[in-house]
Structure 1
Amino acid sequence: TVVEENLLDARKPNRLVALLPEDGAGQRDGRTFGLASVDLAEGTLQVQEVKGLAALTSELARLAPSEALLPEPPPLPPGARPVSVLPPGTQGRFALSYLKPEAFSPREAHRRLQTRFASASGSELKRLLQDLPRGATAAGALLGYLEEMHPAASAHLQPPTAFDPQRHLLLDETAIRSLELVETLRDRAHEGSLLWTLDRTCTGAGARTLREWVLRPLRDLEPLQSRQDAVAALHRQREARKALRDRLKETADLERIAARLSAGRTTPRDLVALKDSLRLLPAFAGELKGFGEPVLAALRARCAGLEAVANRIEATLRDDCPNALADGGLIRDGVNAELDRLRSVATGGKQWMAGFQSREAERSGIPSLKVGYNRVFGYYIEVTRAHLDKVPADYERRQTLAHAERFVTPALKEREAEVLGAEDKIRALETQLFHALRDDVAGSAREIQMTGAALGELDALCSLAEVAARQGYIRPVLNDGRKLAFQQLRHPVLDETLPKGQVVPNDLLLSGGARTKNGRDNGDDAPQILLLTGPNMAGKSTYIRAAALATILAQMGSFVPAEAAEIGMVDRIFTRVGAADDLFGGRSTFMVEMAEVAEILAHASDRSLVILDEVGRGTSTYDGVSLAWSIVEFLHDGPARPRTLFATHYHELCGLEEELPRVRNACAVVKEWQGEITFLYRIAAGSSERSFGLHAARLAGVPNPVIERARSILHELEEEARERIANVGQPGPSAQRRKRRRKPDREDGQLLLFDPSPMEIDPAVQAVLDELRAVDANALTPMDALKKLADLANRAKGE
């Protein structure tokens, strides 16, 4: 576990986790995992239990550990392949360390926790051991590892706490990745992510705090509104915000200095930086004095009480002290009498050397004579070969060079012993005094860490206020309702990267389909499900992702890129966006897609937000549209009824608006002129006429002959499709409302896939078909066949 500053990314957490899987029992994905995590900079030890590989994958994605501790697996029989307890896709993302199974013994692990923390939190620890026994066992193993590897580093750890997922908006690994919260999907770069857009922090602690807020938005309304109040106050008071940010730029990373203090790895310059930062605390408190918001008032209270530590450091260390103890010169004069005496000897000895050189040059008559020093021979007198005949008899030869000789005298050797002895003693005494100072300051490591965390939180709040001011964000209205409403919503990343005015804003309105106590719908006119159709490249994915990102922004306490917003609290965001196979797990692209859909359908609630982008495209068209259709019906009629944004190219789904009362169609608008299309990036009510896939292919550089051939095939298919009627008669709540599908319009460029059922065919047509089926062609003479054909033709013409 690394604590050295030069080996860590200041803007990312450095977490160590311990993982204890449930023994044996059934499917790997059904196991319960005990999970404990610690960040020495924060001094926090969190414990939880997660069920299933999907939940474990999501939690590891949020924690982003640097190292994981696992029980050592039992020996395998010859030829057997080891089976990893880690989820597919997590291997290689962090270092693995295996501990003896005894380290994960529940009795030993629980005893270690009780010995260390019982005096500080007896009742809470007892409850933790009872409620989360497997997680507590992982925490005990983790604590034992720290005490063995870094006994001092864990000194300022707080007692373990249970992580409560109910307090946070849950984001699984798929949502974190597909919404590009901390890194982009294509090249895993920080630039272009939501965190990059929001990060205007001035300190490493602030950047780490902001990252945590992005990955763990809040769900409880009261603390969330308190954070919003703080952001709003900093947003209003521009000058105070600027003053705070200017001072934050001058502060060191107190959290990580506290971790190095506890580990006994603090350098002299660490302590000087700590002192300079602590001297700024009164200025922070003064700036925050003008704010009455509870969050800012609490931060002000945490920026106090460390003046004595700063005084002790300032009284002991020089401001310009070196970073390495071996370089010396770090303790102030007057701190230690013995140190002052030794310095006088060393300084006087050097002055004596200068006088000695002058006297020897005069005595020997050698004007170029020099007194020097090196680590091998010590002090020496150097005489060039031109003056060797003038060397006095009491000179002792020490070294021969190409153009000179080096000598010593008894007086020079005696003085050398005095000077070098004093310098060695000075370094030893300075090291002793520094260690005493470091240990004394380490006694306040917990308070220093808490102050550093307060400054990190203040920095993150200032960053959110700064982004809101620069980009014109507004404060959203948060409540316990089911509505999700935005006026003139903009995608936050595009709002940052594109020139001002180029991002096209759009409105959005959804409402959950929760039933009232009498079992009826809540009566809200807003749709629960928005079916979004339109051409490729027209902005459908941008629109639905913007809604998800704005929800995350709102529930982390930020303002949002819109002109108005109302958000009923969301408990979880599910996404099915993009496509990629899982070679390691042996799953095709479509199987990955269906696994994500299954997760959504199994765990979504009436407070969830579901983002679906082109579900069903990884298989045949018939299978894909059937699945997409059924998924929409399940989301509408099922027990959860979550707020849903569903982007699709299956235009057959647009007919669901006529049958499902909480489904609405919307489309991305384009303008077509003389065979060319212009993307307007506007979302309007209604369904799109065409997907314009050939236009997108041409923009991508597909050769013209391929485009022209595709256009010819498309025309033939469209002619055939105009004679079809699409219908699906399926049992369930929606079947009772289904009467007749819309007939294809001559302008509808989307192929309709379903042949009409016998019930929907005109009776006259059905009679002709029945008569044709009854004809035995082998029994007809040529004349009878002609008569039958003429009769059918006349009937078809209505004669």
Structure 2
Amino acid sequence: MDRALGPPEKMAERREDLTPMMAQYFELCAQYDQALVLFQVGDFYEAFCEAAEVVARRCEITLTQREDSTGEYAMAGIPIDNAESYIDRLLDAGYRVAVADQVQEPEETTGVVDRAVTRIITPGTLTEDELLDGERNNYLAAVAAGERIGCAVLDISTGDFYATSANDPETVADELGRFDPAEVIAGPDVPAELVEGYTVSPFEEEAFGIERARETVADYFQAPDRLLASDAEISACGAVLAYAEYARGGTEDRLDYLNHLTRYDPREYMLLDAVAIESLELFERRTVHGHGEATLSGVVDETASALGRRELDEWLRRPLIDPDEIAARHDAVGELRDDVRTREQVHEQLRDIYDIERLVSRIGRGRANARDLRSLKATLDVIPRVRELLDDPECEKLRSVRERLDPLADVRTLIDDAIREDPDREITEGGIINPSFDEELAELRETERAGKEWIESLEASERERTGIDSLKVGHNSVHGYYIEVTDANLDRVPEDYERRQTLKNAERYYTPELKAREDEIIRAEARADDLEYELFSEVRSTVADRSADLQALAAVLAELDVLVSFATVAAEHEYSRPVVVGPDDPAVDGIYVEDGRHPVVEQTQSSFVPNDTRLSSDERVAVITGPNMSGKSTYMRQVALIVILAQAGGFVPAKQARIELVDRIFTRVGASDDIAGGRSTFMVEMTELADILDHATEQSLVLLDEVGRGTSTADGFAIAQAVTEFLHDEVGALTLFATHHHDLTAVAAELEAATNRYFETTQTAEGVVFEHDLLTGTADASYGVEVAATAGIEQAVVDRAREVLADDTPDARPAGDRTNGQANPDDPTEPDAGLGASRPGSESGTRQQAAPESEGGAVAEEIRDADVATMTPLEAMNLLASLQRRLESRD
């Protein structure tokens, strides 16, 4: 984000000629030259000159003119009571917004009203409920470079604060992808590609300086050098705190509710980078065509609160790799699943809790009103009831949750005693504090009540005294209390009436006693209102002092909410408890899933065919063939989602599952390009593939879909084969490789720990029927023409494609393209035999058939091997040109 509107140069040059108000505006513009200044004028926020043009255009409001003795200025204003909706549009357009509020009451000054920037609104520093997604964290991230690369992420609205570092930028990039910050600030020497794709805002480099950063962190947390693991982490944390303070506009620099900083090692969790999160559709669908909440988080989200929904996302973004902690979560989910009554009652109670984290944030920043405190009290009311429902649980996790559910009875009692049950929204106009809470307040309110009661009885007594039946007693904000008499009865007005106001058909009066009562009421009311504000501020400050306890309570409630959600999903969708063990536990080798289901797809389709998964040290690589639409991609994602759910602590959609801990899931699925970055689909594919080959380990799960399809058939197959061999021989990762390169099945047949799997398809008179059953062996064809017909391709095109396909000889059928099991690489009569590049260490010493005696024979062999059924026209032309050149060179 690099959009700024400082003062126009011509205005800066002649500032002494401006009116005081306009001079004040342009002075603030100069001071906050990286932001668009919204300047309070009465009930509106105004912008002038070029800034007004931006506001009018982006917010779709009328551009007007301001005219004074110094000239005309373009002007555009937005109403203060609806400012957030307009500010949201400016943020979407890439602007930072500096809000300049009046800090003086107009009636208290004789000159221009003082204004100051009270907050700077940026995508990563939002605290306004109207601008925030209550179900998602809104992170600001800072990245600092040094001996290591440091990363800090802070959600100002909740107080969630994390820090980590790594030697390589790729790991930090993965962490940024995991948190998906709304805004990033980057220190000196941070590689631009590390923060590419995020909203990056400029910020002073001095904030990243180690000494200043250390002081900033020390203002909030003791001993930053012991809390954090590197100077880079300190630098990142200091900068993100400084930016958060900067966004407060200088009026409330410190964020006292920040009391917990979590330093973590990325290796403490399963790593899911941005590519995996997107391709597995954990939180967002990749296409515009969806089925409601057709994401993993949407399917398993039965949480009752905003706290729980954010925590669920956190668990899915960072699955555990500690078998004991995973088992503890499974214990709790299992107990709650089986105890239906307790689970449902706890869920109902959790529906009554408010978003404590964001309430505490507002309380700590002095932004909370009386209704916020009552919401906090309503949440604390729930805690004893939840503790009672969780009385004597069997598993340790639920016992721990119950013990940590602190009712905070003193906070609850303080709010209940001090704050009215239905307080006014404004906190400076009374109506928020119980009179019984303070003796002086009670006396003032009694004086006010008695005075108003006397005035209410005045009308009847004066009618009786004067005999004027139409006499009225009233009140307005300008003239105060009055006695109104119509002109027809003026002759009966008593001598002690003093004229207050003349109307068209009546006169208004007051009496010395009425004036005395009015003064008494006004004094009592004004003092009571002021006292209520003072008392409220004291109560709010006292509650703010318990921020750490309240945030700890919020964390426990969020944890319980997710456990109940997992249990509800397990019960309603027939999920089973998985067994998850460490890599040294002989009980499980790899991943075994019986009757596994895709958790999202099974909810959006009328029927779903379950499939088994077996990946182990003996069968590390599975090459999967089958036509488009047969279920290859769904199956691979299904396996990954089952692993994620299991290690997040949930039950899984399968009859049973045994999983050896996975440290990271890599995905290379789907087709995408990066036009802005100048990268083709194939280049993006190769970049993602390089990351997999560089970072995958024996404990990783790798999903590959159609590797090598973005280039020529020969190049694509060569890459696919080399990748398969490298993952098998060098990396040892558990790998699912879906492909239309049917020749790859022969390669898998020769690899010791590889296997072939295919999705069964039946050809009928009506067309192709996809059975969606995963079997051992290889597919007999790709059925691309049939899928094209199903997709609605013009019938003439489909018919012609079938003619071309029918003209192919049986010998031209792709290698490995048959149904009955795997090809026999040792049988020279099989078209599969001997395919692939030479690889030392195989039993035959080679995977390539001996070269033909003539170039013509080699050309014929290559023609036979060409997969014409799936080859693009461009690939066919390239192949033909290559063969022509080879024949011409022979001649």
TM range, normalised to the smaller chain? 0.7 to 0.9
Query: Hey, what does 2:386 align to over in structure 1?
Result: 284
Alignment TM-score, normalising by the size of structure 2:
0.75
Query: Hey, what does 2:802 align to over in structure 1?
Result: 711
* Alpha-carbon contact 1:48-1:163 (below 8 Å) kept: yes
604-613 or 395-404: which moved more? Answer: 395-404
311-320 or 592-601: which moved more? Answer: 311-320
Of 454, 479, 484, the match for 2:591? 484
The CA deviation at 1:239 is 1.2
Partner deviation per Cα, 1:486-518 (whole Å, 9 max, x = no partner): 11000001233334xx11111111114xxxxxx
Of 716, 720, 724, the match for 1:624? 716
* Alpha-carbon distance in 1 for matches of 2:411, 2:686: 58
Query: Hey, what does 2:361 align to over in structure 1?
Result: 259
Query: Hey, what does 2:152 align to over in structure 1?
Result: 36
Residue 271 (1) aligns with residue 373 (2):
yes
* Alpha-carbon contact 2:145-2:188 (below 8 Å) kept: no
Of 535, 559, 573, the match for 2:665? 573
Residue 667 (1) aligns with residue 758 (2):
yes
* Alpha-carbon contact 2:308-2:561 (below 8 Å) kept: yes
Query: Hey, what does 2:530 align to over in structure 1?
Result: 428
The CA deviation at 1:18 is 1.7
* Alpha-carbon contact 2:164-2:266 (below 8 Å) kept: no
Of 229, 234, 237, the match for 1:136? 234
Of 207, 210, 215, the match for 1:106? 210
* Alpha-carbon distance in 1 for matches of 2:663, 2:744: 28
Of 749, 753, 761, the match for 2:866? 753
Residue 537 (1) aligns with residue 629 (2):
yes
* Alpha-carbon contact 2:624-2:778 (below 8 Å) kept: yes
Equivalent positions of 1:403-552 (< 5 A) are 406-481=508-583, 482-499=589-606, 502-512=607-617, 524=618, 527-552=619-644
Equivalent positions of 1:546-565 (< 5 A) are 546-565=638-657
Residue 9 (1) aligns with residue 100 (2):
no
The CA deviation at 1:115 is 5.2
The CA deviation at 1:617 is 1.5
The CA deviation at 1:406 is 4.3
The CA deviation at 1:273 is 2.1
Aligned-partner residue type, residue 712 of structure 2: S
Call closer, same or farther: CA 1:446–1:427 in 2, change over 3 Å. Answer: same
Residue segments in structure 2 that go unaligned for 5+ positions in a row: 1-124, 584-588, 816-830, 851-862, 869-886
Query: Hey, what does 2:284 align to over in structure 1?
Result: 183
Query: Hey, what does 1:591 align to over in structure 2?
Result: 683
Query: Hey, what does 1:126 align to over in structure 2?
Result: 225
Alignment TM-score, normalising by the size of structure 1:
0.83
* Alpha-carbon contact 2:220-2:256 (below 8 Å) kept: no
Equivalent positions of 1:219-368 (< 5 A) are 219-304=321-406, 306-368=408-470
Bigger radius of gyration: 1
Q: Secondary structure at the match of 2:136?
A: coil
Q: RCO greater where, 1 or 2, for CA within 8 Å and sep 6 or more?
A: 1
* Alpha-carbon contact 2:175-2:266 (below 8 Å) kept: no
* Alpha-carbon contact 2:814-2:865 (below 8 Å) kept: no
The CA deviation at 1:677 is 1.5
Residue 216 (1) aligns with residue 318 (2):
yes
684-693 or 212-221: which moved more? Answer: 684-693
* Alpha-carbon contact 1:18-1:35 (below 8 Å) kept: yes
The CA deviation at 1:401 is 5.5
Call closer, same or farther: CA 1:97–1:188 in 2, change over 3 Å. Answer: farther
Q: Secondary structure at the match of 1:418?
A: helix
Aligned-partner residue type, residue 208 of structure 2: F
* Alpha-carbon distance in 2 for matches of 1:72, 1:390: 86
* Alpha-carbon distance in 2 for matches of 1:273, 1:159: 23
Aligned-partner residue type, residue 506 of structure 1: N
674-683 or 184-193: which moved more? Answer: 184-193
Residue 738 (1) aligns with residue 843 (2):
no
648-657 or 316-325: which moved more? Answer: 316-325
* Alpha-carbon contact 1:529-1:645 (below 8 Å) kept: yes
Query: Hey, what does 1:759 align to over in structure 2?
Result: none
* Alpha-carbon contact 2:837-2:848 (below 8 Å) kept: no
Aligned-partner residue type, residue 280 of structure 1: V
Aligned-partner residue type, residue 322 of structure 1: D
Partner deviation per Cα, 1:430-461 (whole Å, 9 max, x = no partner): 11111111111222111111011101100111
The CA deviation at 1:84 is 4.7
The CA deviation at 1:366 is 3.8
Q: Percent identity?
A: 39
Residue 155 (1) aligns with residue 155 (2):
no
The CA deviation at 1:40 is 4.5
Query: Hey, what does 1:64 align to over in structure 2?
Result: 180
Q: Secondary structure at the match of 1:183?
A: coil
Q: Secondary structure at the match of 1:334?
A: helix
The CA deviation at 1:392 is 5.6
The CA deviation at 1:113 is 2.9
Call closer, same or farther: CA 1:39–1:266 in 2, change over 3 Å. Answer: same
The CA deviation at 1:410 is 4.3
The CA deviation at 1:387 is 5.2
* Alpha-carbon distance in 1 for matches of 2:799, 2:169: 48
Call closer, same or farther: CA 1:200–1:244 in 2, change over 3 Å. Answer: same
* Alpha-carbon distance in 1 for matches of 2:712, 2:296: 35
* Alpha-carbon contact 2:611-2:774 (below 8 Å) kept: yes
* Alpha-carbon distance in 2 for matches of 1:421, 1:723: 96
Residue 19 (1) aligns with residue 123 (2):
no
* Alpha-carbon contact 1:471-1:495 (below 8 Å) kept: no
* Alpha-carbon distance in 1 for matches of 2:332, 2:177: 29
Aligned-partner residue type, residue 282 of structure 2: L
Residue segments in structure 1 that go unaligned for 5+ positions in a row: 23-30, 75-82, 513-523, 742-749, 756-772, 778-799
Aligned-partner residue type, residue 507 of structure 1: D
Residue 695 (1) aligns with residue 773 (2):
no
* Alpha-carbon contact 1:152-1:262 (below 8 Å) kept: no
Aligned-partner residue type, residue 505 of structure 1: P
The CA deviation at 1:241 is 1.1
The CA deviation at 1:752 is 2.5
Give the total of aligned pairs: 708
Call closer, same or farther: CA 1:71–1:432 in 2, change over 3 Å. Answer: same
* Alpha-carbon contact 2:145-2:189 (below 8 Å) kept: no
Q: Secondary structure at the match of 1:49?
A: strand
* Alpha-carbon distance in 2 for matches of 1:166, 1:549: 20
The CA deviation at 1:51 is 5.2
Residue 380 (1) aligns with residue 482 (2):
yes
* Alpha-carbon contact 2:270-2:320 (below 8 Å) kept: yes
The CA deviation at 1:292 is 3.3
Aligned-partner residue type, residue 540 of structure 2: R
Query: Hey, what does 1:615 align to over in structure 2?
Result: 707
* Alpha-carbon distance in 1 for matches of 2:758, 2:488: 97
Residue 90 (1) aligns with residue 198 (2):
yes
Q: In angstroms, what is the RMSD of aligned CA positions?
A: 2.9
Aligned-partner residue type, residue 504 of structure 1: V
Partner deviation per Cα, 1:222-278 (whole Å, 9 max, x = no partner): 211111111111112111111211111122222222222222222212222222322
* Alpha-carbon distance in 2 for matches of 1:73, 1:381: 77
Query: Hey, what does 1:765 align to over in structure 2?
Result: none
* Alpha-carbon contact 2:392-2:399 (below 8 Å) kept: no
Call closer, same or farther: CA 1:625–1:401 in 2, change over 3 Å. Answer: farther
* Alpha-carbon distance in 1 for matches of 2:402, 2:644: 27
* Alpha-carbon distance in 2 for matches of 1:354, 1:393: 22
Equivalent positions of 1:199-210 (< 5 A) are 199-210=301-312
* Alpha-carbon distance in 1 for matches of 2:542, 2:260: 23
Q: Secondary structure at the match of 2:436?
A: coil
Of 722, 731, 743, the match for 1:652? 743
* Alpha-carbon distance in 1 for matches of 2:461, 2:418: 39
* Alpha-carbon distance in 1 for matches of 2:413, 2:596: 52
Partner deviation per Cα, 1:531-569 (whole Å, 9 max, x = no partner): 111111111111111000000001101110000111011
